[in-house]
Amino acid sequence: MFLLYCGYFFVEFMRPQDLLPALGAAKPGMLMALPLAAAWVIKGDKSVLGDRLVKLYIALLALTALSTLYAVNTFWPVSSAKTLTLYLLCAALPASFLLSDAFRLRRFFDLFLLINCGLSVYALTHAGRGPGSFLGDENDLALCVNFAMPFAMYFALLPGTPLRQRLLYGAATGLMIAAVVASGSRGGFVTTVAVLLGVVLLSKRPVRYLLVVGLVAGIAALSLPDQYVSEMETISDTGDSTRQDRIWSWKMGYRMWQDNPWLGVGAGNYPWRVAEYEWQSPEFDPQTMKLHAGRAAHSFYVSVLSELGLVGSVLMTWLLWSMWRRQRRCARAARDSQGDAELEFLDALSRGLQVALGAFLAGGLFLTVHFYPYPWVLVGWTLAVERVIRLRLRALGRSDEAFA
């Protein structure tokens, strides 16, 4: 069943079904999802349903489904609720019993890095784009590899790691940075900077990581194409058309929220309502401006606020804050490893989870990603890491009071 869990992530992130139409017709993701969900129902620890992270997840799922009752377009609330249910039953909950020890965690995250290396190669050979779905365009691809990057960086400098493995993790980091460059995504660049800073600031060996990050940044700066440098310099250009377009979209999202402050306009309904708000705006000039009908808000924060309202925003903030605190406690509990290799790895993994969450939040400044897998799979990974740390501490006869 562990291999099936790994296979599910391969299909979800590498997306071979989007590259091979015949495979897509077989719906491999669903074929893997059903036994994973059944395995959790039969063998999983049901007490995890009482965990705050899972409760908040389910509350957001319920609000997404509830929005079907008042949304103009009911397809997207239903579709979004199905997506969240799939991630809950196939990724988040099964992680709590399938990623049951440090060995399995190491193998799973090594596979996740391998998948992202594959995505990076794909991006380098396809103009910076991903294979499809939530990895379709350049910005989406950049977010995915940035999300995975901190794990490679932390694993590379784990004490006792053989030189060959260090070089492989280093090569994976370089490959993912190259994919971000190939994407030409300005949001991806900002997220990469956030990841590199996060890796240093959250490390328990900040000087070592600062030297490594400085070396990586130096090599990257010397090898960046002039066209890429010119594109990144436009980040500070207040007159840039893309920048103005995003700000306009955010204004429309804010006005949606003003009209629907508590529950929003419904999950996935920003693209279906934005033109309505543009026509109502005194700033809209049909002679010089195009309607944004069918286009996303290009911001995780604006999307949640406009589509799920104040209730959804509070629940989402509570979930993300609780998850970050849990990850920090995991790192604190595993920090004093006293030479134990498992705790060293779990400490690095906990810090990687924190930076990955930060990558999601940074990338979400410019992307509508609330129904992408990242925050939802992080719930399961966080629960799994906490459980394994607790078990390891007890096996060593040590207290787990850091989780209190």
Angle 89-144-293 (CA atoms, 0-180°, nearest 5)?
Answer: 85
The domain ranges of the chain are: 48-98+237-404, 100-236
H or E stretch including 357?
helix 341-363
pTM of the full structure: 0.96
The confidence score (pLDDT) of residue 323 equals 98
The confidence score (pLDDT) of residue 251 equals 97
The confidence score (pLDDT) of residue 242 equals 86
Using only the alpha carbons of the chain, give its radius of gyration.
Answer: 21
Cβ contacts of 366 within 8 Å, gap of 6 or more = 139, 186, 187, 190, 246, 298, 299
The confidence score (pLDDT) of residue 380 equals 97
The confidence score (pLDDT) of residue 43 equals 87
The distance in angstroms from the start CA to the end CA of the chain is: 32
Q: Under DSSP, is residue 98 helix (H, G, I), strand (E, B) or coil?
A: helix
Of 19, 4, 36, nearest to 111 by C-alpha is 4
The confidence score (pLDDT) of residue 286 equals 83
Residues of the chain with pLDDT under 70: 402-404
Cβ contacts of 343 within 8 Å, gap of 6 or more = 334, 336, 337, 389, 392, 393, 396
Cβ contacts of 82 within 8 Å, gap of 6 or more = none
Tens of pLDDT, residues 106-154: 999 999 999 999 999 999 999 999 999 999 999 999 999 999 999 999 9
